[in-house]
Amino acid sequence: MPPGRELRGPRCYQTEVQRRFGIFVLVLVAGCAAQPGAASVRPSVRVPLQRPCAGPTGEPPPGELPANRCLASPIPKRRMPAPLVENDSCVDHRGIEASLGKRLRKEFQPTVHGATVEVTFDCDPLTSPLRELTIETGSGHGGSLVLWRVFRHTYGKDFHLFGLTHADPWQQYDLYTYEVANRFDVQLVRDRLEAEQVEKVAALAATALTARFRQIEPPSSVTTGFEGFLSSADTHLFVRMVDESGHVLERRFTGYEGTSGQATRLGLELAMTSLVPLLDNHGFEKLSPTDDEREWFVEQYLDAQPRLHEGSSWWVGRRYLRMAGRIGTIAVVPALLGELEARLSEIAESRDPGDSIWELADPILALANVTGWDARLDADGHLRPMDEVAREYLAECRRALAPTQLGPEDPGEPAHRAGKGASRRRFHRDTAGIPVAMSR
């Protein structure tokens, strides 16, 4: 056989007998080449790698897994964000601290009769020009969640504005079917903002975000009791500012407006007052997001995962999840599986699983939209039980993921699962609860 000649055979073997016969032929050829008197140049024999052939009905051969229905291609690696940089220097905004401090003292309500409040300001690390501003606002009642991104390209002077909103007409007493879960709408907005306008309000907002409160109680002999209030308004505020050097200033609050958490909430509200002019007068429309906009949203959603399971932030996480199903990519699949698994655990612990089974509708719809694989219907076109569909998504999608992408088998117990009473409140959107203030 001439050097370099390929020993051709079937591309696959049908039976074990064929496989063993192929091995016999290969050994025979190699043995002949080694006989005395053979040519001094050893033949180069290349034997194609063989695999089992598919069966007559088209099913995968023994030992081979079928193509994955959840993920036809691997999840791409996340793009590494620019590193965040510690900064020991601070912006000098003492010129406006006095006026802001006066406004904030009027807003703060002491919780002890006769107490006074002092307002000071922490370090503002944004010593370089602003590069990006991220804002989240929402209300627990009414189904709203709005994400804003104000950013500047490295080659441009002015800023670009991108926003997306979640509008939910769902009512508390609706039977939560797939159709009801899919009623919400996602709309986008794009615009351009002048650099001077953005930088002016951003400086005021950054100062407000650094505000710190200290309540000073009178001597115990004159203390007459506790004071406070709690509103039914459940709000979400998140502001993150990054400058060109990678310095970050971030604050967030999710909870009921009241005396609890006001030390975090008041500074955020004042910052939002200065930022509102940037966000007003922009009409949201039904637009298709670009690849860059999808990628930005995916990064926001994945980065937000830890805080979306804190305290009273469950409703923010629910709306983020729905939006992920509409404009997310396959990169959100591991996070969606974590949500699905956590909700299955909640249902298993519930005294009335039938009352909470609808909690699976949102992650199931999101997985169907993102992966393109809809497992909700059986072969006859009838809806399958939600818990059965959820378990099939978990099994099939986890089979496609690399071990590093799977996360823990037990995703942990989110804050909203702290006790069966808390889970019941979540299922019925009860407004009872204690507000939780969060700050970074």
Longest dimension (CA), the chain: 115
Does residue 243 share a domain with residue 214? yes
| 320 within 8 A of 304, measured Cβ to Cβ | yes
Does residue 277 share a domain with residue 338? no
Does residue 98 share a domain with residue 35? no
In a domain, 390, yes or no: yes
Does residue 413 share a domain with residue 267? no
In a domain, 159, yes or no: yes
Q: How confident is residue 49, by pLDDT bands cut at 50, 70 and 90? A: very low
Q: Is the pLDDT of residue 365 over 90?
A: yes
Q: Is the pLDDT of residue 377 over 60?
A: yes
In a domain, 1, yes or no: no
Which phi and psi (to 5°) does residue 196 adopt? -60, -40
| 340 within 8 A of 364, measured Cβ to Cβ | yes
Does residue 271 share a domain with residue 309? no
In a domain, 418, yes or no: yes
| 212 within 8 A of 105, measured Cβ to Cβ | no
In a domain, 268, yes or no: yes
Residue-wise pLDDT tens digits, 64-118: 556 899 998 889 888 776 677 778 899 998 889 999 999 998 988 888 878 888 9
| Structural domain ending residue among the three candidates 287, 314, 334 | 287
Q: Is the pLDDT of residue 408 over 50?
A: no
| 123 within 8 A of 90, measured Cβ to Cβ | yes
Helix (H, G, I), strand (E, B) or coil at 135: strand
- Residues 369-375: contacts with CB under 8 Å, at least 24 apart: 369/325, 369/326, 370/324, 370/325, 370/328, 370/329, 370/330, 370/332, 370/333, 370/336, 371/69, 371/70, 371/71, 371/330, 371/333, 371/397, 373/69, 373/70, 375/69
Q: How confident is residue 259, by pLDDT bands cut at 50, 70 and 90? A: confident
Non-local (6+) Cβ contacts of 249 within 8 A are: 124, 125, 126, 206, 209, 210, 240, 241
**For all residues of the chain together, what is the average pLDDT?**
78
- C-alpha distances out from residue 6 to 1, 31, 190, 194, Å: 9, 17, 60, 67
Does residue 309 share a domain with residue 272? no
| Structural domain ending residue among the three candidates 256, 287, 318 | 287
Does residue 392 share a domain with residue 353? yes
Number of domains forming the structure of the chain: 3
Does residue 185 share a domain with residue 114? yes
- C-alpha distances out from residue 313 to 95, 332, 353, 416, 435, Å: 36, 19, 23, 8, 10
Q: Is the pLDDT of residue 328 over 50?
A: yes
In a domain, 293, yes or no: no
Residue-wise pLDDT tens digits, 199-217: 999 999 999 999 999 888 8
Does residue 314 share a domain with residue 206? no
Tokens of 339: 């949500």
Q: Measure the CA–CA gap between 114 and 110, rounded to whole angstroms.
A: 8
Does residue 191 share a domain with residue 340? no
For 102, counting Cβ atoms within 10 Å of its Cβ (0-12 exposed, 13-18 middle, 19+ buried), the class is exposed
| Structural domain ending residue among the three candidates 243, 259, 287 | 287
Q: Measure the CA–CA gap between 353 and 360, rounded to whole angstroms.
A: 11
Q: Measure the CA–CA gap between 152 and 215, rounded to whole angstroms.
A: 39
Q: Measure the CA–CA gap between 207 and 94, rounded to whole angstroms.
A: 9
In a domain, 57, yes or no: no
CA-based nearest residue to 212, from 335, 131, 117: 117
Poorest-pLDDT segment among 23-37, 41-55, 280-294, 413-427: 413-427
Does residue 251 share a domain with residue 338? no
Show the domain range for 336: 303-440
| Cross-strand partners of 119 | 213
In a domain, 71, yes or no: no
| 259 within 8 A of 213, measured Cβ to Cβ | no
Does residue 202 share a domain with residue 127? yes
Q: Is the pLDDT of residue 416 over 80?
A: no
Helix (H, G, I), strand (E, B) or coil at 130: strand
Residue-wise pLDDT tens digits, 173-203: 566 788 888 888 899 999 999 999 999 999 9
